Amino acid sequence: MADTGGRPWRGKAFGVTVESGTPLAGLVAAANGAESKLVEWEPVAEDVVGVDRIPKSEPLVDRRHPDGQLFMSIEQDSELGYRIAAPGYGAHLVAADGSLIRSAVPTDAGDAWQRLFFAQALPLAAALRGLALFHASAVVDEGRAFAFVGLSGTGKTSIAAQLVARGARILTDDVLALEPVEGKVRAHPGPARISVEPAELARLDADGRKRLGRLLDAPTEDGKAQLETSPAEGPAPLGGVFLLSRVPTAGVSVRRDPANRTQALLAAAFLGYLTLPQRLALHLEVCARIAASVPTFAVQIGEGTNAGETAEAMRGSIDRIEAGR
Amino acid sequence: MAAEGTVPGSELLGSRLRVPEHVVYRDFVSETVVLNLETGRYHGLNPTGGRILDAIERSETVGDAAEALAVQYERPRNEVEADVLAFCSDLLTRGLVELRPDG
């Protein structure tokens, strides 16, 4: 890691500015004087975020592998905050107000710890700092953000990758930070990382792959190719939301203003375990603003339809929004 | 128990209801979503329910809300009262409105 000459280094993602003693790979450097909400990051020894730091209680999250081995746990203490840990990926202690993340980084796991940091710890800090988080990927095109909401496996990232290959700019992969601003909804860039199914990556031509980013050495634990991307420089107004679902029929259909859009938006909250009143109220507020001012589409993706075909079908809707129709 | 010939729950007509601090609601295109911040549970109201909730919030009493809605939608007052009372009773049961301390 590069030396910052004694000044704190600042990077940004999910609408917050991360301040640390050394540059953090995976974050885009923030300009000096950035007014975004601050989150301090501090690497610490394992005992600082060890299992005995949070008094024993029912964990908020307890995810396990099929064989019963722990995959990830999240525990909460009203004073210490939240402890996020995953064997092999380190542990993070996120302050109750999101202003500080202390991370115990495993010395023998390369950059694997960053995946837990970007997938859980930093989004949690952002939520605690007042951002509304959605389980979505997003791109920016012609100055507007377009979000893709759906269950895991519906193709959120693959569709975003296809649109980037066609000229859009990646905004975020998997977690989208939104905030209400002056009656509209603002979408913030995520970290400079994207994880793509190798088969979807192979479908892109050389120019498309180049636009998407640089392939990193280590694939993710679920076999996805990990790329270093260059997300949009700053936040963009949310221009459209696409609600993705898989259907057993053939082909792809794109339909505006589906009847279930309210429920789908409410259900797309990321970090469902976080039931703080202010967070729930913010999520409802953002969903209401989307319903009132952002075109929303149901995209039904049939069997055998690949992400390129889906992106092509959605392109017309994006073009109409950009043309003001 | 309502007296014979009166609308069930009609004793509520003179009551003053309010939406508690731990309940927020927002209008969507075709429904109103009410969120109980204490339970984290969302409740969907159809457009009619949303209009009744608005009227309750704006009116002094439940009876006043029913009268305002009857005038606005040109419907017989007793019909509207029955709908409003049933609706308020349901909201009270769900904890989405409460009696004002002075009501």
pLDDT tens for A77-129 read 888 899 999 988 889 999 999 999 999 988 777 778 888 999 999 999 999 99
Residue B77: what pLDDT?
93
- DSSP-derived pairing of the beta strands A296-302 and A236-247: parallel
Give the model's confidence band at A34: pLDDT under 50 very low, under 70 low, under 90 confident, else very high. Answer: low
**Closest residue in A to B38 (Cα–Cα):** A277
The answer to whether the Cβ–Cβ distance between B33 and A275 falls below 8 Å is: no
Chain A partners within 8 Å of B30 (Cβ): 259, 262
The answer to whether the Cβ–Cβ distance between B28 and A292 falls below 8 Å is: yes
Residue A129: what pLDDT?
96
* pLDDT of A48 over the 90 cut: no
Report the alpha-carbon distance of residue A141 to residue A238 in Å, rounded: 11
Chain A partners within 8 Å of B31 (Cβ): 262
Instruction: Give the burial class of A67: count Cβ atoms within 10 A of its Cβ; 0-12 exposed, 13-18 middle, 19 or more buried.
Output: exposed
Query: CB contact, 8 Å: A60 with chain B?
Result: no
Structure tokens at A280: 């729930």
| pLDDT tens figures, A248-307 | 988 999 999 888 888 899 989 999 888 888 999 999 999 999 988 999 999 999 988 889
Give the model's confidence band at A33: pLDDT under 50 very low, under 70 low, under 90 confident, else very high. Answer: low
User: Do the Cβ atoms of A169 and A141 come closer than 8 Å?
Assistant: yes
Query: CB contact, 8 Å: A45 with chain B?
Result: no
* pLDDT of B23 over the 50 cut: yes
Give the model's confidence band at A35: pLDDT under 50 very low, under 70 low, under 90 confident, else very high. Answer: low
Strands (E), A218-324: 225-228, 236-247, 252-256, 296-302
Residue B1: what pLDDT?
44
Pick the residue with more confidence: A14 or A66? A14
Residue A4: what pLDDT?
58
The answer to whether the Cβ–Cβ distance between B24 and A287 falls below 8 Å is: no
| Three-state secondary-structure class, residue A312 | helix
Query: CB contact, 8 Å: A303 with chain B?
Result: no
Pick the residue with more confidence: B4 or A77? A77
Q: A256, A280, A283, A285: which to substitute to probe chain B, counting the most B Cβ within 10 Å?
A: A280
Query: CB contact, 8 Å: A291 with chain B?
Result: yes
**Closest residue in A to B33 (Cα–Cα):** A284
Q: Rounded to a whole number, what is the distance in Å from the CA of A310 to chain B's nearest CA?
A: 27
Structure tokens at B70: 């009857």
State the average pLDDT for chain A: 89
Query: CB contact, 8 Å: A267 with chain B?
Result: no
The answer to whether the Cβ–Cβ distance between B27 and A257 falls below 8 Å is: no
Residue A105: what pLDDT?
86
**Closest residue in B to A259 (Cα–Cα):** B30
Report the alpha-carbon distance of residue B101 to residue B103 in Å, rounded: 5
User: Do the Cβ atoms of A7 and A28 come closer than 8 Å?
Assistant: no
Give the model's confidence band at A5: pLDDT under 50 very low, under 70 low, under 90 confident, else very high. Answer: low
Strands (E), chain A: 9-13, 16-20, 28-29, 37-43, 61-64, 70-77, 81-86, 90-94, 100-104, 132-141, 144-149, 169-172, 175-181, 184-188, 193-196, 214-215, 225-228, 236-247, 252-256, 296-302
Give the model's confidence band at B2: pLDDT under 50 very low, under 70 low, under 90 confident, else very high. Answer: very low
Identify the CA nearest to A160 among candidates A200, A115, A106, A103. A200
| pLDDT tens figures, B32-91 | 999 998 888 899 999 999 999 999 999 999 999 999 999 999 999 999 999 999 999 999
Pick the residue with more confidence: B97 or A50? B97
**Closest residue in A to B39 (Cα–Cα):** A275
> What average pLDDT score do residues A225-237 get?
92
* pLDDT of A240 over the 80 cut: yes
**Assembly ipTM:** 0.71
Domain ranges of chain B: 13-96
* pLDDT of B98 over the 90 cut: yes
Residue B23 gets the label, from left (phi > 0), alpha (psi -120 to 50) or beta, of beta
The answer to whether the Cβ–Cβ distance between B30 and A287 falls below 8 Å is: no
Pick the residue with more confidence: B11 or A245? A245
A positions 199-258 inside 8 Å of B (CB): 257
User: Do the Cβ atoms of B36 and B23 come closer than 8 Å?
Assistant: yes
Residue B8: what pLDDT?
59
Percentage of the residues of chain A whose pLDDT score is greater than 70: 94
**Closest residue in B to A289 (Cα–Cα):** B28
- Residue carrying the six token digits 């796991």: A109
The answer to whether the Cβ–Cβ distance between A259 and B28 falls below 8 Å is: no
| pLDDT tens figures, A151-190 | 888 889 999 999 999 999 999 999 999 999 988 999 999 9
Residue A258: what pLDDT?
87
User: Do the Cβ atoms of A159 and A310 come closer than 8 Å?
Assistant: yes
User: Do the Cβ atoms of A118 and A265 come closer than 8 Å?
Assistant: no
Helix-helix angle B62-73:B47-58, to 10 degrees: 130
The answer to whether the Cβ–Cβ distance between A266 and B26 falls below 8 Å is: no
Query: CB contact, 8 Å: A287 with chain B?
Result: yes
* pLDDT of A2 over the 60 cut: no
CATH of B13-96, one of 2.60.40, 3.90.930, 3.90.550, 3.40.50: 3.90.930
Domains and CATH numbers, chain A: 9-128 (no CATH), 132-322 (3.40.50)
Residue B6: what pLDDT?
54
Report the alpha-carbon distance of residue A91 to residue A112 in Å, rounded: 12
State the average pLDDT for chain B: 87
Q: Rounded to a whole number, what is the distance in Å from the CA of A321 to chain B's nearest CA?
A: 19
* pLDDT of A14 over the 80 cut: yes
Give this prediction's pTM: 0.87
Find how far residue A283's CA is from the centre of its chain: 16
Report the alpha-carbon distance of residue A14 to residue A132 in Å, rounded: 9
